[in-house]
Structure 1
Amino acid sequence: MNAALPAVAPVPTLPRVTDLLPHRYPMLLVDRVEEMVPGERVRAVKAITMNEPWYAGLSADAALDYPPSLLIESWGQCAGLLASATAPAPAGQVMLFGSVADAEFCLPVLPGDVIEHRVRISRALADSVIFEGSSHRGADTVMSVSRMVMAFRPAELLRTDTPVRPHAGRDREATS
């Protein structure tokens, strides 16, 4: 007797990180998307390893805490994944990090930890998106973010034909 197998719903294909972000080694700080609901939320992971360039050359007794600025960057890249999956930047537009508010670092992150970033869209405006969320190591919260703002701006407004010159005061100090 052949019993019919129950129908299985197709598993949605999750985007590859490199399909949505321009970042590459060594500044690509997201390894894999675990869940994504475009326009709403994303869960993605970052494995912390001793092979990362910021650990190179440390003395044997150096603290191995992952730099908080890189934890924010990694979380922000997850927000960028969500923004890109929700509404890819129109041609000629660049996604820019605007600000972060009320980031709280709860526990240190160390090599060997796998960090799960959870990012939600709090509000979407015409040319900006506001995110909130947290980062976790297993059941432990390692960081929370109350607000991160990203904006889309025309690339041509960010380009300049004139090289950026140091402030005049710095030139005088360097030559004195």
Structure 2
Amino acid sequence: MERRKPLNQMSAKKRAELAGQGRPVWSTLARVPFSPARDTTRHATLDRKPAKATGPDAATVALVIERDRGCCVRCGRYVAGGVRGRDFSIQHRRARGAGGTRRADTNGPQSLIVLCGSATTGCHDHVERNRVEARGFGWAVRQSDDPAVVPVRHAVHGLVLLSADGSFTPCRVVAS
């Protein structure tokens, strides 16, 4: 059976009244008892440290999107008008690891590319699932490699080297 309308939030006045009577008021969001002394806002808060920012800053993201002309590096589809994280992603060519990294160039433009989709859809998913192919085309690099010297097969620009200033340099393929 479906509800016709969502459940209403308990008002701050009602929470304070119940807490004043010594009755515990539980928050389903935080799974901890509500305490008026700790929280007088609409929702109880979680007692944990805020997540540290391990990704690139907004200026770097804008620079990468501009360099890639708002297109997916793998397929060339225009994605800049979409929602980041759903329609497109800023992919680290050299993985930053679960806890982040201390390497300054990991969040630099030479290490970032635009891919369509999220980590489970589109070209971003393809790159994550096919690491050997991704390394062959420069969409991913090993931890020991410098992203600035590993060429990228770019759907819009061709084979290029990405630089720290947000530009790129075309590479010439030398026949052996």
* TMscore range, shorter length: under 0.3
Structure number with higher relative contact order (C-alpha < 8 Å, ≥ 6 residues apart): 1
Structure number having the greater strand percentage: 1
